[in-house]
Amino acid sequence: MSVRRTGWLLVAGAALLALAAAFAIAGASEVRRSGWWALGLLLLTLAASPLRQLLAALGRRAAAVHVHRARRGIGLTAAAAGGYHLFESLEHHFGAAAPDDVLAAVLGIPWLRHGALALSLLALLALTSLAPIARRLSAWSALHRLVYAAAIAAGLHALFAPHAGLPALVALALALLLLAARLVPTRRAEAGSETPSLSDGT
């Protein structure tokens, strides 16, 4: 693994710790807290791939396999948390509002549009993570790179929402940093040395 890639990982890890600390001290409402849980789990899903590659490069292949296997569960949990955040937000902000009013608000307010995009992508990824569907998708890995778009949309949702602050900015920066880490090429000690369970799929 390149020194540059390792540097990205160290910065991403430090940012993740800072984000976790910000979540812990933030006096967020129940609605905002559910959103932070969803976003935090989504960022953790993104961090799984570079962490897996780092562990493999360090010779910790068993640990890398465990991270690889846990990533799907974390991603599905993030999608479920996003769905819970949606229902909680609808109850808190819109109550008994008509569906047309809710749709108008989502289309007219940027941070709501970002949230809707993130949730739509997460729903798609969760659906295509089901084994019967995943086996039929030849482009599964390419499709699931949309998780980065979902994370960036979720970060923008948090950043432009009312009462946003430093945690939202850190979350968006971390999503972009993890995307950059994904795009930085790695140097392998031996070509084709990885097992199929450690493939580069996202």
Rounded mean pLDDT for each run of 10 residues along the chain, 202 residues in total: 58 62 60 84 85 80 83 89 89 76 83 92 89 77 86 91 79 84 56 35 46
Q: Note the pLDDT of residue 121.
A: 94
Q: Is 99 exposed, middle or buried (0-12, 13-18, 19+ CB in 10 A)?
A: exposed
Sign of the torsion angle spanned by Cα atoms 134, 69, 120, 99: positive
Compute how many other C-beta atoms are within 10 angstroms of the C-beta atom of residue 190: 6
Residues 130 and 155 sit within 8 Å (Cβ to Cβ): no
What CA–CA distance (Å, rounded) separates 176 from 11? 12
What CA–CA distance (Å, rounded) separates 163 from 66? 37
What CA–CA distance (Å, rounded) separates 151 from 169? 13
Place of tokens 């979720």: 154
Residues 175 and 152 sit within 8 Å (Cβ to Cβ): yes
Residues 30 and 188 sit within 8 Å (Cβ to Cβ): no
Q: Dig out the tokens for 143 from the structure.
A: 């499709």
Q: Note the pLDDT of residue 149.
A: 92
Q: Note the pLDDT of residue 27.
A: 55
Single out the residue of 178, 193, 181 nearest to residue 56, CA to CA.
193
Distances (CA, A) of 46 to 41, 112, 171, 184: 9, 23, 12, 14
Residues 9 and 54 sit within 8 Å (Cβ to Cβ): yes
pTM: 0.76
What are the φ/ψ torsions at residue 130 (nearest 5 degrees)? -65, 135
Place of tokens 């602050």: 165
Q: Note the pLDDT of residue 106.
A: 81
